[in-house]
Amino acid sequence: MVVALMYLVPVLAVVFYVYRYIKEKGKYFDDKPIPAVPGKEIFASSLELMKKKVSFNDWIIENYKKYPSAKIFGMPDMRSPVYFVRDPELIKCIGVKDFDFFVNHRPSFGSVEDSHHSALFSKTLLALKDQKWRDMRATLSPAFTGSKMRQMFELVGECCTEMVKFYQDEVRSKGGPQEHEMKDVFTRYANDVIATCAFGIKVDSLSNTENDFYMNGKKMMAFDRPIVVLKLFGFQMVPKLMGWLGLDLFDREQNHYFTEIIRETVRTRDAHGIVRPDMVNLLMQARKGALKHQREEEEVKGFATVEESEVGRMQVSKGVEMSESEMVAQCVIFFLAGFDTVSTCLTFLAHELTVNRDVQDKLYEEICRTKESLGGGPLTYDAVQKMQYMDMVVSEALRLWPPAPNTDRLCVRDYVLDDGEGLRFTMEKGTVAFIPIVALHHDPQYFPNPEKFDPERFSPENRAKILSGTYLPFGIGPRNCIGSRFALMEVKALIYYMLMEFTFEKTPNTQIPLRLAKQMVGISTEKGVFVEFRPRKQ
């Protein structure tokens, strides 16, 4: 009993301190002409999230609904006051028009300025700030154009065909189709794509289920481990201390593993003059300052594809070159994005195709027409881009189940917010703008009957009805997701190859409707997504 009290007292003291701290922070909004969530209420809802009583998506949507007539409202937070931005026009002002006031993301995991050591995450494009971010974005941007995706498409196609063959062989060896959990299936596919495209190595995560690349990636992505949760809390509350201690979000073992892969790959290619159409080759060019923006041919783009801004198109000065550790960091962030967000998109898309058989059948018809237009040859990047219904289906999956439920921007200097209709006040430097992507996507004002999976929302005749600033699966403005083309290419290619050979069928374990897992961040399902791959009759 005494021992229990020894632990309980400091925990209660911390909880009380945090509550009082949030309550004090809540007073920041007292002189603002906007509503604000009371400190007690936001503390209670945050506690519910931390205790895993609610999913992150539902937490965002519930907060979004608190003030339905407000364009923006305040939310107290442990570090900086947060502005919850509901209005699409204000979102566009913050994300695009007045971007110079909101250049950075909220510093969640430390930064280069905070670190006395070479923490890998701090060097990623996601974590970089100010001019360092601008230089890195401009350096990397030419690697993600349509022409570069076209060069890498063959590598993605190889991963797709190998996956199809694996499941065809499985059907033959086991005497019939099998049930599979989609997150596991698509995580392995995304892992193999990133391995070949970003790290320049070949792995087969379906046949060799515990290969080193996959297992190290899985450990790196295990954000629910107690040690990682403690690190996240530390970076939120005392980022300078975490940086001074040289702590990184990633474990030293995984940092070393991925660093050595890149070092060895670069060493081998330099020594033997090896050129391969992948991200390593592009980063090697960027590292030498030799990767520049070139005039692109006009291409058909998916609706969800985000455009590169002038920040990304600017030419980097000669003196800005990429260090080895910066190069490794970009490969790692590509890995994290591909490992989780692409596999998440595919998981929910597979579920929707399974339970909406009419959509699956219509998409299969388009796939057959595309295959016929190719004369039986392999799928090409340009052919994927021309698949209109495929783009509608993927766009709707990204609306209903956005892999990134929110984004944010840090106010880097005092900003006068003015909606032109009487709302005018100053957002001080250091405050945060929270952009609730999933809530906008589920607002019936913008997407009628929002819980229904309806690809027709994105038909050519209906696209014009979608209000700008309400559909943001890859973020908004210059700080949007640099890899939208790559992600969409990866998703569409696999769906093409899999539906060509299999139908997606429900099983007794297919949860309808899907329920989300109650967790602090991200989006995953309560019980997994189970689908049977049934071979089509030839």
Which residues contribute to the annotated binding site for heme? 481
Task: Point out which residues pair with 427 in neighbouring strands.
Answer: 415
Task: Point out which residues pair with 36 in neighbouring strands.
Answer: 74
Sequence-distant (6+) residues with CB within 8 A of 47 are none
Report the length, in residues, of the chain: 538
- Binding site residue list: 481
Helix, coil or strand: residue 434 = strand
Q: Which candidate, 342, 264, 322, 394, places its Cα nearest to that of 139?
A: 322
Helix, coil or strand: residue 101 = helix
Sequence-distant (6+) residues with CB within 8 A of 407 are 105, 435, 437, 472, 475, 476
Tokens encoding 516 = 């989300």
Q: DSSP labels for 57-84?
A: HHHHHHHHTSSTT-SEEEE--SSS-EEE
Tokens encoding 231 = 């690190």
Task: Point out which residues pair with 417 in neighbouring strands.
Answer: 425
d(CA 324, CA 284): 9
d(CA 533, CA 170): 10
Q: To which residue do tokens 């797709």 refer?
A: 160
d(CA 217, CA 332): 9
C-alpha pair distances (Å), 20 with each of 38, 42, 43, 156: 12, 12, 10, 52
Q: Which candidate, 381, 390, 407, places its Cα nearest to that of 474?
A: 407
